[in-house]
Amino acid sequence: MFYTYKKQLKEAKESKSLQETCKIYIQLGDFFKQSGIFPEAIEQLNEAAGLAKTLNNDSLQIAVQIQLGDVQLLLKSYPKAKELLTNSIERAHAKAYRKLEAIAHELLGTCYEKESDYLLALNHQEESLDLFESIHDQEGIAIVNENIGSIYEDLEQYEKARSYFVKSHTYFSKMEPEASLNVLNNIGDTYRKTGDYKNGLYYTSQAKDLAVQYNDGHQLESAYRDLAKTYVLQNNFEEAYKYLQKSHQVKEDEFYSQNFDQMNVLQTVYDTKVKEDQIKYLTQQNKISEAHQNLMWFAIIVLIVGGGTFSLLINKRRKAGVKLQEYEQRMMRAELKQKEIEEQNLQNEIQLKTVTLSKYSLTLAQKNKLITDVAASLKKLATRTKVDVHTKIKSIAREMETTLEQDEEWDEFMQFFEDIHPDFIKKISAVSEQKLSSTELRLAMLLRLNLSSKEIASILRVTPDSVRVARYRLRKKLPIDQKQELVNFMLDY
């Protein structure tokens, strides 16, 4: 697909069609976004934005800005995403581009949901729904209904969440069955969380079967995990263990597949740039050689025709030619040096992906060992009749908590974090007005990764309120302006 886009881009540039070139840059940006290579996605979309501005095409400009906002949302850079999407809504509303306005509202609502600001999230999703309904866009209506259901599920209003999921499923089923995969999983979740395990198993099993049919690893892993949760609640530990194992196997396979795919794409981009640079270099060399050869022939003709009368003129022309050649060669060397730096950056990105893969594999191994040990205990427990089940389960829970409290994962996290942000701990400790505790340093690192309070609470195994208190205490120790966000302060380091 990448080579196809590059070929189309070359043809569009040769035909000097700015409109077509802009559209292909947008397609390349979407390709890199779907591949999870966000820096390349931003680069391609910025190229598209420049062309859209040159064309003075408002709809293209807004569409590109929405795409950039979506990439920032995926990067969890919520302030930047909100800025881009809010501006897109204003511009689309002014021009009466209702579909673009609806898409921007939907993404902005998702952004607020990620920040746990559910009231604003609902407001924007409902605005989006009204706009999609006004233009009879069934896909948009289905997506937004699912988003609203997700918000109510976060708020633990499961009956209301299910009503929106069912609406979404009704619209998706009119299009393609594959589109309803995620919403089927969500419907099953709401039944499980309200104690209706029979319906929960029914809908989750439907999602599982569709995921197998369409080879959707992400949705299959989610369905297996939800089936395991339902069987645990029914005290069917054998089935729970079976689906939990399947879930982790699919998740591991998906992780390796995704990372290898990303590395392959990066390698393809790198190889393509190297070839383009080589072609450009050879073309420049040929032009210089041809110019030099023409100059020499001209000098010979002038010498034959003009003789000694024109000798001074010939020498001047030759010197001018040599200077031109030296200048062009210096320019080419500078360009090649710049390309070498870009190529090295691509290689570093590939290497970083490889390091990530290796280190995450170690973490997976430790997690899988813990799961295997607990699963073995649960299987034994399921086969024994003369055992105090509640006491044994409490014992297993204590073992899990003891294991989870070990610092090994934090040591690996620290090592990996320092690979990516080597000077962060030193810098943040240096600017702190008081000595930071190990807990505060951990919180600072998680904020530097742009995680939400809800995600941090899950990692540190505390309540969101505890995270808010910890953020307040950390803020008091740092030289931070009252109007500045704590997360933005961390991102500066």
Contact 178, 216 (CB under 8 A): yes
Cβ of 415: how many Cβ atoms within 10 Å?
10
Secondary-structure breakdown of the chain: helix, strand, coil percentages, each rounded to the nearest 5: 85, 0, 15
Half-sphere exposure (Cβ direction) of 54: Cα atoms closer than 13 Å: 11
Encode the chain (493 residues) as per-residue pLDDT tens digits.
Answer: 777 887 888 888 888 888 899 998 898 888 888 888 889 989 999 998 999 999 999 999 999 999 999 999 999 999 999 999 999 999 999 999 999 999 999 999 999 999 999 999 999 999 999 999 999 999 999 999 999 999 999 999 999 999 999 999 999 988 877 888 899 999 999 999 999 999 999 999 999 999 999 898 888 999 999 999 999 899 998 998 999 999 889 888 877 665 555 555 555 555 555 565 555 555 565 565 565 566 666 656 656 665 566 667 677 777 777 787 787 788 888 778 887 777 776 676 556 544 554 444 445 445 656 666 676 777 777 777 666 777 777 777 776 666 555 556 677 677 778 877 888 989 999 999 899 998 899 899 889 888 888 888 877 878 999 999 999 999 999 999 888 899 899 888 8
pLDDT of residue 323: 80
φ/ψ (deg, to 5) at 136: 55, 45
Contact 454, 116 (CB under 8 A): yes
pLDDT of residue 365: 45
Residue showing tokens 């383009």: 276
Of 254, 263, 176, nearest in space to 215 by CA: 254
pLDDT of residue 181: 86
pLDDT of residue 438: 87
Contact 275, 239 (CB under 8 A): no
pLDDT of residue 205: 94
pLDDT of residue 360: 45
pLDDT of residue 309: 60
Please return the burial class of 370, using the count of CB atoms within 10 Å of its CB with bins 0-12, 13-18 and 19+: middle
The Cα 98–Cα 130 span in angstroms is: 10
Q: Where are the beta strands (DSSP E) in 288-333?
A: none
pLDDT of residue 151: 95
φ/ψ (deg, to 5) at 123: -55, -45
Of 91, 87, 83, nearest in space to 58 by CA: 91
The SS3 of residue 296 is helix
The Cα 344–Cα 339 span in angstroms is: 9
pLDDT of residue 357: 42
